[in-house]
Structure 1
């Protein structure tokens, strides 16, 4: 019988020195640079113009993108740490970084050809915001019932349809758009396309008015005879459902990190208030009901 001892597995809750430093850096940035902007961004329902360049400069828009492409060369756990710490101060900034990393960059890293990576990843790491466009008016929960169509004409696909509720829609320069190339095949006709903002026939429609996370844009995308080069298929033709499922699996974890951050921020605010609010000459935190 072997007497070798298995190495101890470090719990996920124990961060490495690098991860702890990363979290501390993001927390400091969120508290000093983001927090002062939250109220005005919520009122105007848009990000402060100075914020996006700072996020790129810190490497927060390309956390997992390899350093060879100008990214930070980090991990998925670092994605989640950044999303959580930013959301602790502002859920809008948290979702911006979440969509960029866990949806868009994640899909590009997993499904792009080497040529596509060389073309797009350096921009995603340094200057371009991305969006993930799956949902439509009649295909929310049943996303694979999407009606956007793609028809091959020569060396381009022609896309027609509308996407709704697309996060980062207003700020993005690159969109991962799901369209069906052959409806007779059902979900096996769904294909993912890399659509640049200035492609002919593409436009960003109205932004939704929301009750919360207001600085984050949630927009309609319009594809009217939109011309997309054949080389801009992400993955393989007819494999878009795989791209969608695998990408959303990680995207949901990112949203979980956002919710943890928002919850922590709410608790922190409540504790501060309880220590400051006075009743009968004492902070309400001193009373038994609040302590419970």
Structure 2
């Protein structure tokens, strides 16, 4: 059975920074991160990791809001749920969140958790939000959804709360000597470059309504980055950075301070 691409990101507002944090979470902060080679952007979901053989998928949905209610969390699960019900085998389902309300977690100290760490009342609200969003989407036939199916899906979802700065995500990309790690301004600039590279993939043609038969066919549409490309970008920026050796003219400082971080050290 074929997989039809629906609701690509160009149809709605993109939280670019959160999506890049989600990418770097997949790349560096999972026990199986070394298995993920491709990062497919705005195709199956906000982001989907894929192994080198194009057979194994890590599906991730991101939401940047800092205080999401349980019901809002449920609504954000809809694309993951659509993929769970699809013909393709998505091995992992991750919801990457900027933050959640105090009523959601049982143990609030856990920033990576599954449904067993969610309050019983919140689980009810998550299900309610998911069902309402399924009813609102034309690409899901909500009349075929059962409670058993939703419960089975929720058991497979991993929730991740973002607890790091952009610079922390960049530091994790390569394991180098602490003495040559650049300052936070440069690390943030590198993060922004990765963000821009990731966002640019959304402009490589519309993939809405494209039909594929196998996971690896997604690579034919060039909506992806590889772990090697990202690591090379970071290493190049760290090794070849060219900051102002003698500083900048005092009169130019107000203008310089309005530059994006990634432009401040451009010669």
Same fold, TM-score > 0.5, yes or no: no
* Higher RCO (C-alpha 8 Å, min separation 6): 2
Larger Rg: 1
TM-score (norm 1): 0.28
The TM-score, its normalising length taken from structure 2, stands at 0.30
